[in-house]
Amino acid sequence: MSIYDTLNENQREAVFHTEGPLLILAGAGSGKTRVLTHRVAYLIEQGVMPYHILAITFTNKAAEEMKERVDDIVGENGGSIWVSTFHSMCVRILRRHIDRIGFDTNFTIYDTDDQKTLMKEVIRLLNIDTKVFKERMLLSIVSSAKNEMVSPDEFEQRMEGDFQKKRIAKVYREYEKQLKKNNALDFDDLLLKTVELLQRDEEVRSYYQDRFRYIMVDEYQDTNTVQFELIRILSDKYRNLCVVGDDDQSIYKFRGANIQNILSFEDVYKDARVIKLEQNYRSTQTILDAANAVIQNNKGRKEKALWTDNGQGDVIAMKTFESAYEEAEYVVGDISQKVREGKEEYKDNAILYRTNAQSRLFEEKFVTAGIPYKIVGGVNFYSRREIKDILAYLKTIDNGKDDIAVRRVINVPKRGIGLTSVNRVQNYAQDKDISFYDALLGADFIPDIGRGLSKLESFVALIEYLKGAKEKLGLFDFVKEILSKTEYIESLEQEDPEVAQTRMENIDEFISKVAAYEENAIASGEQASLSGFLEEVALVADIDSLDESQDYVILMTLHSAKGLEFPSVYLTGMEDGLFPSYMTIVADDKDELEEERRLCYVGITRAKQHLTLTNAKRRMIRGETQYNKTSRFLKEIPRYLIAKGAVFEREKPDRDGFGFKPKTGFRENPFKERKPIKQFNVNDSSGPGYDVGDRVLHTKFGVGTVTNITAGGRDYEVTVNFDTAGVKKMFATFAKLQKQ
Ligand SMILES: Nc1ncnc2c1ncn2[C@@H]1O[C@H](COP(=O)(O)OP(=O)(O)OP(=O)(O)O)[C@@H](O)[C@H]1O
Ligand SMILES: [Mg+2]
C-alpha cells in the first residue's frame, strides 16, 4: 500500500498534478495542508531534488510540522527543501544578498515596539502634530503602503493637493530614511526588500528562479500584494506553482491580505488547473452544517459543497450567562469534569475568543482550579521590558547602526547619562549624518557635552569591551558576560521585589533559550552566531510555542487558530459588540461584517467532535461594563443543530441597536503575570544534586566532571569539563545535569 492510498481521488489528483499552475480551492478540513505535504513527498519520489522545492506555510510551527511529516514519508531526504513562512524565507534571502540593494547583511529586524519608537522619532523630527496624527495610525498607513508596494515617491504623488496627506507622505519618506540609517528593516520590509532585490538584480533573480522549480503556498487566501508579487517572480520561469486556500477563511484584511489573489488566480494564470476538495475529514456533520449555515450569509464567495462521512455527531451546546465570570467558570468547570471522567485530556480542548483581553478571566479560573493551560498570544515573551533590554544590548553589539537599540540601553541600568546628553549626541549625529553610536565614539567632539563626556566614554568602553568578548566567548557565555558586566540583575534587585522576581525568571528563561539555540546549532554542526540568534528571536510568533506533547488547555484568539484543529472547541464571547465587533456594527460596514463572519466560520471549523458556543449578557470591556446581545452569527445557526434547553435571551429595546452600555468608573485589575517554571533556589541548602568532582551527564555535551559550583544571584553556576565538548559553564536550572 502506498501513502497515496489514504488520499481521496481529488486529493490524489492534486498531489500527482505537478507541472504548471494549480489552484486547490477547498473548504475547511478538506485536507488542503495534508495534500501539500504529500505533494512534497511525491515530488521527491519522482526524482525532484529537495533543493528545488519551496513550500510556504503560515506559521513557523506549521513549517516544522510539514518538515517532520515530509521526513516521515521520505526519510531524511527532505533536508535541503525550504519549508518556511514568507518572512523566514525573505530573511534567508536578504541575509545573503541585501548588500546588493544598499543595506548591510547584518540588518536588524524591528518589531512593533521598535517601529513605534522610530515613528515617535520621526514625529519629533518633522514636528508633526500628534493630536492630528497618532503614531499607530501613521504606522498603519505606512504598512498598508508597503503591502501595496507603493513607494514614498508614488505615495507623495497620490497625495498631491491635500496638505494633510502630504504630511503623511513626508512621514513615510522620513520613516524609510531612518530605517535605512539604523540598518533596520520592519516586518513589511522583509517582503518588500526581497521583491525589490529580485526585481532589480537579474543575477539573484535567476538564481532563485532556477532553484525553486516547484513552489507551494498554503493559506493562499491570506496573501497580500507583495507576497503575490514575490511568488509571481519566483515562479515565473518554471511556472510550477501550486497554491491552496479557502476564500471563506480569509481573515487578515487588516494586514493587507487581498482575497483577490485567490479569487482571480485563474485570470492571472490562464492555464491553471483548479481542483476542489469537498470531503471534510475533520468535523462531524453537525459542526459542518453549522459552519455552512453561517458562511452562507456572505455574498461574493465561491460556493463549496462540504460533506463528511464522520457521522452526525453531538448537537452543539449553546450557553448564555449573566456575566463573563460565569461564562469562564462554566467553561473551566466543563473541561475539568470531562477530564475527571476520563473522556478527554486537557489538550483536547481549545478556548477561542475574539480579543486577547478575554483570556484573563479564564486564566484566573484555571489558576484557582489548578488546571494547566497555555495562552497563545497576549504579552509576547520577547516584548517584555527586561528581555527587550538584553536584546537591545545584543543588537547594539551586533549592529552598531541600530540607534534605537543603543539609545534604549545607554542609561539602562542607570549610569547617570541624562536626557540632555542623549539629545546632544542625537543632534550631533543628525547634523553629521552619522549613527548615534558613531557619534558616541567621537563624543569628545560634541559641542557642550561637558560633564556628560566621561559617562558616555565609559558606556562606549563597556560596549567595545563586550564586542571583544563576543569574539572570544560562546553565545551563552557571552550573554552571561553582558549581564554581569552591565550589572543588570543587580539593578533589577533594587526594584519592587515581586516585579524583580518575575523579571529575573524571564531572564533565566531567556538564557535557557540562548543555551538551547547554541546547543541546537552545535548539534547540527553550525556556528551559533549572534545574528542567527537575533533572527530566530525576531521571527518567532506566539503560536510557535505550542507543544502538542504537553497536556494543557489551549487559549487563543480566533485569528491564531487558523489551520489548527481540536476535539473540543469553546467559542466564547459570542456577543454583538464583541463578535462582531462594536466598530463593525456602528459603521454598518458590510465588508467588515463579512470578514468577521469568515472568522466565525474559521472558529467553528476548528472543532472535530464537540462545539460549545457561549455568550455573556454582561462583561467588562476596557473598564466599562457592557450589556450585549447574543451574536448575530449564533442566530444564523439552525436550531435543530443546537442542544435543547439553549435559550436566546429576549430582545431588549435599546438605544443604539445593539445594547446599551452604562458607564462605570470601575477598572479591571491589571494583567498579572504568570509564575513560570520551577527554579533552583540558592538559599535552599540541598544544592543542585551533585558536587565538585562528580561525573555528570548532559543531554548534548555528554559526560564530564564538575570542576566548580558557584551560587550565583538566583541559581547555581556550574562549570563542567566535558570529555569531548571541553569546558562549559552553565546554569544548573536548565543544564539539567544528571549525576552518574
Ligand atoms: N484522505 C484523508 N484521510 C484521512 N484523514 C484525512 C484525509 N485528508 C485529510 N485528513 C485529515 O483531516 C484533517 C484536516 O486536514 P487538513 O488540516 O489538511 O485540512 P485543511 O483543508 O488544510 O484545513 P484548514 O482549511 O482548516 O486549513 C486532518 O486531521 C487530516 O489529517
Ligand atoms: Mg490547512
- The residue whose CA has the least distance to atom 30 of ligand 1 is 31
> Which of 7, 13, 36, 281, when mutated, tests ligand 1's pocket best, judged by the most ligand atoms within 8 Å of its CB?
281
Q: Which of 11, 32, 360, 714 is catalytic?
A: 32
- The residue whose CA has the least distance to atom 25 of ligand 1 is 28
Residue type, 131: K
- Residue 687 pLDDT exceeds 80: no
CA angle 522/527/529 to nearest 5° reads: 120
Q: How far is the CA of 555 from the centre of ligand 1 (A)?
A: 22
Q: How far is the CA of 594 from the centre of ligand 2 (A)?
A: 21
- Of 376 and 602, the one with more pLDDT: 602
Which pLDDT value is given to residue 729? 75
Annotated catalytic residue 219: yes
Q: Are 716 and 726 in contact (CB under 8 A)?
A: no
Angle between helices 359-369 and 324-340 (to 10 degrees): 40
**From CA 615, how far away is CA 561, in angstroms rounded?**
19
Q: Which of 114, 189, 218, 518 is catalytic?
A: 218
Cell numbers given for 463: 560596549
Q: What's the burial of 381, exposed, middle or buried (CB within 10 Å: 0-12/13-18/19+)?
A: middle
Q: How many CA atoms lie within 13 A of 399 on its CB side?
A: 29
- Residue 369 pLDDT exceeds 50: yes
Annotated catalytic residue 606: yes
Q: Which of 33, 225, 572, 614 is catalytic?
A: 33
Return the ligand 1 atom nearest residue 281 CA: 12
Residue 125 DSSP one-character state: H
Which pLDDT value is given to residue 357? 86
Q: How far is the CA of 280 from the centre of ligand 2 (A)?
A: 12
Annotated catalytic residue 218: yes
**From CA 391, how far away is CA 377, in angstroms rounded?**
20
Count of C-beta atoms within a 10 Å radius of residue 116: 16
Return the ligand 1 atom nearest residue 280 CA: 12
Q: How confident is the model at residue 282 (pLDDT cuts 50, 70, 90)?
A: very high
- Residue 709 pLDDT exceeds 90: no
- Residue 396 pLDDT exceeds 50: yes
Count of C-beta atoms within a 10 Å radius of residue 174: 19
Q: Which of 11, 85, 227, 249 is catalytic?
A: 249
Is 313 marked as binding a ligand? Answer: no
What is the DSSP secondary-structure string of 667-678?
-PPPPPPPP-S-
Secondary element (H or E) of residue 739? strand 738-739
**From CA 188, how far away is CA 146, in angstroms rounded?**
6
- In the chain, what is the greatest distance between 2 CA atoms, to the nearest angstrom? 81
Indicate the average pLDDT of the chain: 87
**From CA 295, how far away is CA 299, in angstroms rounded?**
9
Return the ligand 1 atom nearest residue 564 CA: 26
Helical H segments across 46-111, by residue range = 60-74, 86-97
**From CA 584, how far away is CA 577, in angstroms rounded?**
8
- Residue 178 pLDDT exceeds 60: yes
Query: Range with the lowest mean pLDDT among 36-50, 70-84, 357-371, 424-438?
Result: 70-84
**From CA 643, how far away is CA 633, in angstroms rounded?**
17
Q: Are 595 and 251 in contact (CB under 8 A)?
A: yes
Is 29 marked as binding a ligand? Answer: yes
- Of 485 and 65, the one with more pLDDT: 485
**From CA 221, how far away is CA 227, in angstroms rounded?**
11
Which pLDDT value is given to residue 648? 53
> Which of 34, 279, 352, 608, when mutated, tests ligand 1's pocket best, judged by the most ligand atoms within 8 Å of its CB?
34
- Of 410 and 63, the one with more pLDDT: 410
What is the DSSP secondary-structure string of 433-481?
T--HHHHHHTGGGSTT-GGGHHHHHHHHHHHHHHHHHHHHS-HHHHHHH
Question: Ligand 1 pocket by C-beta < 6 Å: which residues?
Answer: 6-8, 11, 26, 28-34, 246, 249, 281-282, 563, 565
Is 283 marked as binding a ligand? Answer: no
Is 31 marked as binding a ligand? Answer: yes
Q: How far is the CA of 565 from the centre of ligand 1 (A)?
A: 9
Average pLDDT over residues 311-332: 96
Distances from the Cα of 597 to the Cα of 225, 303, 582, 588, 602, angstroms: 23, 15, 14, 14, 9
Interval 197-214: pLDDT, tens: 999 999 999 999 999 999
> Which of 10, 24, 33, when mutated, tests ligand 1's pocket best, judged by the most ligand atoms within 8 Å of its CB?
33
Cell numbers given for 391: 536584546
Q: Which of 567, 575, 568, 542 is nearest to 556 (CA)?
A: 542
- The residue whose CA has the least distance to atom 15 of ligand 1 is 31
Residue linked to cell 516586518: 187
Which pLDDT value is given to residue 664? 33
Interval 9-36: pLDDT, tens: 999 999 999 999 999 999 999 999 999 9
Interval 623-672: pLDDT, tens: 778 899 999 999 999 999 998 766 554 444 333 333 333 333 333 333 33
Which pLDDT value is given to residue 732? 77
Return the ligand 1 atom nearest residue 7 CA: 1
- Residue 678 pLDDT exceeds 70: no
Share of the chain above pLDDT 70, in %: 92
Q: Which of 418, 415, 467 is nearest to 441 (CA)?
A: 467
Q: At 419, give phi and psi (nearest 5°).
A: -60, -35
- Residue 111 pLDDT exceeds 90: no
Ligand nearest to the CA of 561: 1
Query: Range with the lowest mean pLDDT among 184-198, 329-343, 637-651?
Result: 637-651
Which pLDDT value is given to residue 69? 80
Residue type, 142: V
Q: Which of 338, 513, 606, 632 is catalytic?
A: 606
Share of the chain above pLDDT 90, in %: 56
Is 515 marked as binding a ligand? Answer: no
Interval 45-59: pLDDT, tens: 899 998 899 999 988
Q: Are 315 and 285 in contact (CB under 8 A)?
A: no
Q: Are 249 and 3 in contact (CB under 8 A)?
A: no
Q: How far is the CA of 30 from the centre of ligand 1 (A)?
A: 5
Q: How far is the CA of 199 from the centre of ligand 1 (A)?
A: 37
Q: Are 508 and 733 in contact (CB under 8 A)?
A: yes
Return the ligand 1 atom nearest residue 602 CA: 26
**From CA 60, how far away is CA 172, in angstroms rounded?**
30
Q: At 186, give phi and psi (nearest 5°).
A: -90, 180
Is 587 marked as binding a ligand? Answer: no
Q: How far is the CA of 281 from the centre of ligand 1 (A)?
A: 6
Say whether the ipTM exceeds 0.90.
Answer: yes
Q: At 464, give phi and psi (nearest 5°).
A: -65, -40
Annotated catalytic residue 635: no
Return the ligand 1 atom nearest residue 8 CA: 1
Annotated catalytic residue 448: no
Residue type, 518: E
- Residue 614 pLDDT exceeds 90: yes
Q: Are 699 and 736 in contact (CB under 8 A)?
A: yes
Annotated catalytic residue 85: no
- Residue 583 pLDDT exceeds 80: yes
- Of 193 and 533, the one with more pLDDT: 193
Which pLDDT value is given to residue 723? 83
Q: How far is the CA of 600 from the centre of ligand 1 (A)?
A: 19
Return the ligand 1 atom nearest residue 35 CA: 18
Which pLDDT value is given to residue 680? 45
Q: How far is the CA of 631 from the centre of ligand 2 (A)?
A: 27
Distances from the Cα of 517 to the Cα of 26, 84, 452, 526, 678, angstroms: 38, 18, 39, 11, 21
What is the DSSP secondary-structure string of 60-73?
HHHHHHHHHHHHHH
Q: Which of 121, 188, 189, 219 is catalytic?
A: 219
Count of C-beta atoms within a 10 Å radius of residue 618: 17
Cell numbers given for 389: 533590554
Query: Range with the lowest mean pLDDT among 97-106, 375-384, 478-487?
Result: 375-384
Is 26 marked as binding a ligand? Answer: yes
Tell me the β-bridge partners of 82: 54
Q: In the chain, helix, strand, coil percent, each to 5? A: 50, 15, 35
Q: Are 655 and 621 in contact (CB under 8 A)?
A: no
